A and B are shown apart, each in its own frame.
Chain A
Amino acid sequence: MNTDRNGEAADCSGEVSRDSEASTDEPPVAERLDAKRVDRQAAARGGVYALLAALFDEPDESTYRRIAAGDVDATCRDLLDATGLAVETPELTVEDDHETLCARFNDLFTVGYAEYEDRTDGSLDSQGPPVSLYETAYRPEASWNDVNLDLARAYDYFGLEVDQSARDNHDYLPYQLEFAGYLARREAESSADAARARLDLHDRHLHVVAGGLADRIDEEHGTGLYGELADFLDRFVTADQTALAERFEGGDGG
């Protein structure tokens, strides 16, 4: 079975091959990328996802200086302009000093302890920080295994794995953002397959965590940069998902 590099299956067997070496009639893959042939919108979206992945981590001193200097904000605007998506730009600037920003990040996203949702019925958000960076937290109907397995399969299929030197769970938001960025960049260098996969990633996972996280962070006070970032994540994911849905399904991707 052959597949072309636009991802169109060349036969109707239903089988999909991942073995590029099996396609003996394909020309050798160039090692350098010709910038002129790159889909700039997809590349920019890939850049936004990569930037989001980096920002949903505690900022080190260098990153903090770039945020504080407005460089990150400017870059995000530049990237957003290039995505072709009509998404309101966020204000990715801070007034916090570095220490306070770190404390804010950890307080929101990493320091976990039980908090009551409703003391009258004993319901408890027991599993961690006020705003989870893990999709499973926003999928009460789904098992942790099912969510993570689905993502593990996806990363694995596209030749990616979690860096075991500092591993995290497969449903960790920065991983999903890195994966979305990776798929966007694959699309940028001419794989429509990857765009289709990104739409499915949105439908199955990323829109859930992005929406859930934005809703959840709205309930918190003093979210600062991260409130802005969470809202932007939700807006951007929704716009990208909608655009992809229109492209592949003629719908809104709901």
Chain B
Amino acid sequence: MDPPLILPPNIDDVPPPGLALVLELDKPLLVQLRDGRKLLGTLRSFDQYANLVLEGTKERIVVGSQYAEVDMGLHIVRGENVVLLGDIDPSLDPPPGLSLVPEAEIRRIQKADKEAERMKGTFRTRFDFLMED
């Protein structure tokens, strides 16, 4: 008879909590936050909640096919706001199809885009995610 595959794990086989990001230390990462913002930076520290210390942080603001980057310096991100961390592949960054514009320009596009969204009345469903918990 085959042994069952789904046994409670042996305590020695369970890694100590919060080591999941060791391999990401000192690498350039993209951090997606719950409010939709995207931060780029180098991971310098983390804990079991996925609280993060990012160095050389830039916020990447993407609207349609245009984007801008805003320098933010050193950041501590509270873990509960983290959706995902992506290893940035330098050969694919910036992502193909996106063009860089100055910050003032992206803010203007962002404002116009938000206004158009609001007019369509789809705002509520888009942001339900933030209201959870």
**Do A and B originate from a single complex?**
no
Binding site for A on B (CB under 8 A): none
Binding site for B on A (CB under 8 A): none
